[in-house]
Structure 1
Amino acid sequence: MNMVTKKWFLSACLVVLAGRESLADGLLISNVVARQRWPWSRLVDIEYTLLNEGGGLADVRVEARDGSAPLDLPFWSLSGDLSDVEAGERRIVFDPTVTGYTNMQMLTRFNVTLTPIAAPVYLILDLTKSVGAEGQIEYVQHGDARLVTEGRYTNVWLDVTNDTVYAADKLVLRRIKPGSYKMGASANIDVTLTKAFYIGVFEITQRQWELIMGTRPSLFSNETFYATRPVEQISYNLMRGSTAQGVDWPSTGTFVAPN
């Protein structure tokens, strides 16, 4: 039996300076250095310094190249300080062994560009607009006048409940930081979320479902009040996708695989 061993090398003692990335919004990434842990490991440490004059948190976008040729790095090959990053000296770890690069490929000119992006607190989708239309997506950033920080509240948009448009024609989601927590009936299961994610601040309403799916399945159908009522009479499979569904989000943008 012929066996092919797939290997992925950068180069021994590789050090790449990706330069100084100066951007707007008071965000700056500098001192970018990439080093492979060769010969002890194939992991690559990408170290950088983040300056954030506006406070708050930032996401970091990674663009990799071999010389000038772009490299496609899957998101699961990157870990570390990628989302909700505070200012200071930070590190991203790249694992080339889980990528599609194969068979003694020498990337001797491997280099990266890091771009900081202000991490939003809320995301607002205008469901009346088509994908890509101007104004379809709005971000609520740190420092927005709508956010309240007092007492037990930190950057909370309290007034979102005072306008029914956010429970009908628009969908508001709150960004959740990665971290660890306990779950289960007795809170004995450890769960760690490595990526930030968004979750809706309200239950999906009948009007939101109508705009997204084009149907009105709920039994409560009073024309005056239906719009802001929670949608009901929908199955688990219809809401999330069948457990036997053969396609997988985000590659298709349709269904979420059960695993």
Structure 2
Amino acid sequence: MRAIDLNSDLGESFGAWSMGDDAAILEVVSSANVACGFHAGDPAGILRTLKAAADKGVAIGAHVAYPDLVGFGRRNMDVPSAELTADVIYQIGALQGLARSVGAQVSYVKPHGALYNTIAHDRRQASAVIDALVRLDPALKLVCLANSPLLDWAQQAGLACVSEAFADRAYTAEGTLVSRARPGAVLHDAELIAQRMLRLVNEGVIEAEDGSTIALQADSICVHGDSHGALTIARTLKDCLQHAGVTIRAFSQGQSS
């Protein structure tokens, strides 16, 4: 039976500033990438999201990032290796403590924003992040951009990796994400997105921005919780996949939803 994981970035509200609808998204996804406070999220809000995810049986991952609250973690930073390793360990450890307090556990790590895109191809920073997982808990899975060099680097270090595709992002012909600074980088048509992802699951391909077709094998599909119409996109995508006989199941669990 065909199966795929659906994940979303959650726990990103900060104080009086609200981001997304975590409760509603948790009704749809099988994995939750929960902010750790560096790019978004405050402790009380993160804890609420963790509790809600645990109650729904949704898998939990640490959504680690550069220390960039103002830029929402989307600004490139040249962080020294030792500092980056410590930052990642710190963030995972904080989320693990919060998760344990509600009877949940952190089973994977997904870098956020600029950090995610940088380590997909930058071996120095990638090595720093990999080192953090190896030193803290080698059993943690690392979510990586599908087809990126990071997959090989992390596997060589002994980590289990998860290849990820993005439902609501445009791709270049090289298989990388189109920069958010460019028009058309973020997709909003829920039906179009659903059909693109169904083709990905069925055929292992996705259409790039120039119309070419690229091979892309993915274990998980991300729907951004902060995108315009995110909930509609997530629901439409899940309905489309399930109607086609695809099981929605967390990559880190044997459960389906």
The TM tier, using the shorter chain, reads under 0.3
Q: Which has more helix, going by share of residues?
A: 2
TM-score normalized by the length of structure 2: 0.23
Q: Which has more radius of gyration? A: 1
TM-score normalized by the length of structure 1: 0.23
Task: Tell which has more relative contact order, 1 or 2 (C-alpha 8 A, sep 6+).
Answer: 2
Q: Which has more strand, going by share of residues?
A: 1
